[in-house]
Amino acid sequence: MLQQILDHAGDDDHKPKPCKIPRQWLPGWIRWPIRFLLLPFVLLDLFAQTLAKKIIRPPYQKVGSCKKRGNCCNYILIKKSKGFSAKLDLLWHTQMNGFFLRDKETHEYEGMKVYVMGCRYLQKDGKCGAYKLRPMICRSWPRIEYFGHPQILKGCGFKAVSKE
């Protein structure tokens, strides 16, 4: 079911199922300063990942650029963790990152249980309303890992090119 949605998410006529975006109860004067304070760590993490990929090169290379279609921001897959950390994760993504659950149920995806989330900062023109302070998950998308297939939504301006 989820795979079917993702397969069509890049179609020109695709529109995500409308859903009500819940209000965040954590006030902005707490959220934004925390995000601002975390920014250097996010950038440092990103820098370390880029450096690691220059030293040990993954089998694929990302080429292209974002077409600002907003598909990846409409379908953010968050792995469901177990126990108390599952609650903390959900709290973090919904209150701090500004994501919201598209569906309370989890879905099966590549052998994992995942939540499908949307993002309240996605604007009508496909741009990000929180671009400078966007979280790590947004900065590292589309994902090109050392193992497995690159994760890129159809219709995205990026593509993964094999280095072989």
Q: Using CB under 6 A as the criterion, which residues of the chain lie in contact with ligand SF4 when the complex forms?
A: 73, 76, 119, 121-122, 128, 130, 134, 138
CB 114 within 8 A of CB 105: no
Our CB check for ligand SF4 shows the closer of 36 and 146 to be 36
Please tell me the distance from the alpha carbon of residue 108 to that of residue 4, in angstroms, as a whole number: 12
Our CB check for ligand SF4 shows the closer of 92 and 121 to be 121
CB 116 within 8 A of CB 75: yes
To ligand SF4, the closest distance from the beta carbon of 119 in angstroms equals 3
To ligand SF4, the closest distance from the beta carbon of 39 in angstroms equals 13
To ligand SF4, the closest distance from the beta carbon of 108 in angstroms equals 22
Our CB check for ligand SF4 shows the closer of 59 and 62 to be 62
Our CB check for ligand SF4 shows the closer of 93 and 107 to be 93
Our CB check for ligand SF4 shows the closer of 78 and 119 to be 119
Using alpha carbons, select from 154, 150, 152 the residue that is nearest to residue 60.
150
To ligand SF4, the closest distance from the beta carbon of 21 in angstroms equals 12
Q: DSSP string spanning 119-131?
A: ETTB-TTS-BTTG
Helix (H, G, I), strand (E, B) or coil at 151: strand
Beta-carbon neighbour count of residue 56 at 10 Å?
7
To ligand SF4, the closest distance from the beta carbon of 122 in angstroms equals 4
C-alpha torsion sign, points 84, 96, 120, 134: negative
